[in-house]
Amino acid sequence: MNASPLPHQALAPLHPAAQPAPRSVAIVLCNLGTPDAPTPKALRRYLAQFLSDRRVVEIPPLFWLPILHGIILRVRPRKAAAKYASVWSEAGSPLAVWTQRQAELLGQRLQQAGLDIPVLPAMRYGQPAIERQLQALHAQGRQRVLLLPLYPQYCAATTASVFDAATLWLQRARSFPELRLVNDYHDHPGYIGALADSVRQHWQQQGKAAEHLVISFHGIPARNVQLGDPYADQCQRTAQLLAQALQLPPERLSVTFQSRFGPAQWLQPYTEPTLQALAKAGTRSVEVICPGFASDCLETLEEISMEAREAFLEAGGQEFAYIPCLNDRTSHIDLLEQLVQQHVAGWVDGWVDMQQK
SS (HEC) of 35-99: CCCCCHHHHHHHHHHHCCCCCCCCCCHHHHHHHHHHHHHHHHHHHHHHHHHHHCECCECHHHHHH
| Per-residue model confidence as pLDDT tens digits over 4-21 | 555 554 444 544 444 434
pLDDT at 263: 85
The DSSP code sequence of 198-231 is HHHHHHHHHTS--SEEEEEEE--BHHHHHTT--H
Confirm or deny that 218 is annotated as ligand binding.
Answer: yes
The confidence score (pLDDT) of residue 60 equals 95
What's the confidence (pLDDT) of residue 242? 98
| pLDDT mean across residues, the chain | 92
Listed in sequence order, the residues at least 6 apart from 188 whose beta carbon sits closer than 8 Å to its beta carbon are: 152, 335, 338, 339
Do residues 162 and 130 make contact, with C-beta atoms less than 8 angstroms apart? yes
Q: What's the pTM? A: 0.90
CA atoms within a 13 Å half-sphere pointing along the CA-CB vector of 344: 27
Helix (H, G, I), strand (E, B) or coil at 142: coil
Domains of the chain: residue spans and CATH: 25-186+330-347 (3.40.50.1400), 189-323 (3.40.50.1400)
pLDDT of residue 348: 85
Crossing angle for the helix pair 189-206 and 330-343, to the nearest 10 degrees: 180
Q: Give the Cα separation of 282 and 285 in Å (integer).
A: 9
Q: Is the dihedral of CA 166, 167, 168, 174 positive or negative?
A: positive
What are the 10-residue block averages of pLDDT along the chain, 357 residues in total? 51 44 83 98 98 96 96 96 97 97 97 94 98 96 97 98 97 94 98 98 96 98 96 98 97 97 93 98 98 98 98 98 98 98 87 46
pLDDT at site 95: 98
Model pLDDT, residue 2: 54
pLDDT digits (tens, 9 = 90+) for 149-178: 999 999 999 999 999 999 999 999 999 999
